[in-house]
Chain A
Amino acid sequence: MIGFILRRLLQAIPTLLAVVTVSFFLIRLAPGGPFDLERPLSPAALAQLRRTYGLDQPLVLQYLHYLAALAQGDFGPSFSFRDLSVAELLGRGLPVSMTVGGLALVLATGLGLGLGTGAALRPGGILDRAVGFGAGLGLAVPTFVVAPLLQIAFGLVLRWLPLGGWEGGAPSHLVLPVLTLALPQAAILARLTRASLRETLDLPHIRTQRAMGLPARRITRHALRGALLPVVAILGSTAAALLTGSVVVETLFGLPGLG
Chain B
Amino acid sequence: MTAPDPARRRCLAGLAATALVRPAGAAPAALYRRGNDADPGTLDPHRASTVAEAHILRDLYEGLLTDDNEGRIIPGVAEAWTVSQDGLTYTFRLRATARWSNGDPVVADDFVFALSRILDPGLGAKYAEVLYPIRGARAVNRGEAPPDSLAVTAPSPGILVIVLAQPTPYFLELLTHFVALPVHPATVRRWGDAFTRPENLVSNGAYRLRETIPNDRVVLDRNPHFHAAGDVAIPSVAFLPTPDLASAVRRYAGGEIDSLADLPGDQMASLRRRFGGQVVLGPSLGLYALAFDLRMPPFDDVRVRRALSLVIDREFLAERLWGGTMRPAYSLCPPGLDRYRAPPELAGRDALPIDREDEARALLAAAGYGPGGKALTVDYRFNTSDNNRNTAVAIAEMWRGLGVATRFTYTDAKTHFAYLRDGRPFAVARISWVADYADPQNFLFLLQGDNDTLNPGHYANPAYDALMREAAAETDSVRRADLLFRAETLALTDLPWIPVMHTRSKALVSPRLSGYRPNLRNVALTRFLRLEA
Contacts and interface: CB of A to CB of B under 8 A. Distances in A.
A82 B250 contact: no
Contacts of B413: 38
A36 B421 contact: yes
A170 B39 contact: no
A152 B254 CA distance: 9
A159 B16 contact: yes
Contacts of B127: 45
Interface stretch (B3-11, B95-103, B374-382): B3-11
Interface in B39-60: 39-44, 47, 49
Given A40-B417, A45-B126, A82 B215 contact: no
A152 B8 contact: no
Interface stretch (A105-113, A206-214, A251-259): A251-259
Interface string B211-250: 0111110000000000000000000000011111011101
A22 to B, nearest CB: 21
Contacts of B319: none
Nearest to B413: A38
Contact of B418 (A33, A82, A84): A33
Contact of B214 (A40, A41, A84): A84
A251 B247 contact: yes
Contacts of A257: 215
A81 B39 contact: yes
Interface string B15-47: 010000000000000000000000111111001
Contacts of A44: 129, 141-142
B260 to A, nearest CB: 13
A37 interface: yes
Contacts of B421: 36, 40
A155 B126 contact: no
A48 B121 contact: yes
A179 interface: no
A237 interface: no
Contacts of A160: 10-11, 13
Contacts of A40: 417-418, 420-421, 453-454
A151 B250 contact: yes
Given A39-B433, A51-B124, A252 B214 contact: no
Contacts of A159: 10, 16, 254
B216 A166 contact: yes
B39 A148 contact: no
Contacts of A72: none
A92 interface: yes
Given A43-B453, A92-B213, A151-B247, A36 B197 contact: no
Given A45-B125, A49-B124, A52-B122, A92 B214 contact: yes
B41 A80 contact: yes
A163 interface: yes
Contact of A167 (B8, B44, B129, B411): B8
A155 B249 CA distance: 12
A32 B415 contact: yes
B453 A42 contact: yes
A31 interface: yes
B196 interface: yes
B129 to A, nearest CB: 6
A240 interface: no
Contacts of B329: none
A93 B214 contact: yes
Interface in A55-104: 79-84, 89, 92-93
Contact of A31 (B126, B241, B418, B420): B418
18 contacts: A31-B419, A33-B418, A39-B434, A40-B421, A41-B453, A48-B125, A52-B122, A52-B124, A80-B39, A82-B42, A83-B42, A155-B254, A160-B11, A172-B11, A254-B215, A254-B242, A254-B251, A256-B215
Interface of B: 5, 7-8, 10-11, 13, 16, 39-44, 47, 49, 121-129, 141-142, 193, 196-197, 212-216, 240-244, 246-248, 250-251, 253-254, 256, 383, 411-415, 417-421, 432-434, 452-454
Given A33-B418, A257-B215, 4 more contacts: A159-B254, A170-B11, A252-B244, A255-B215
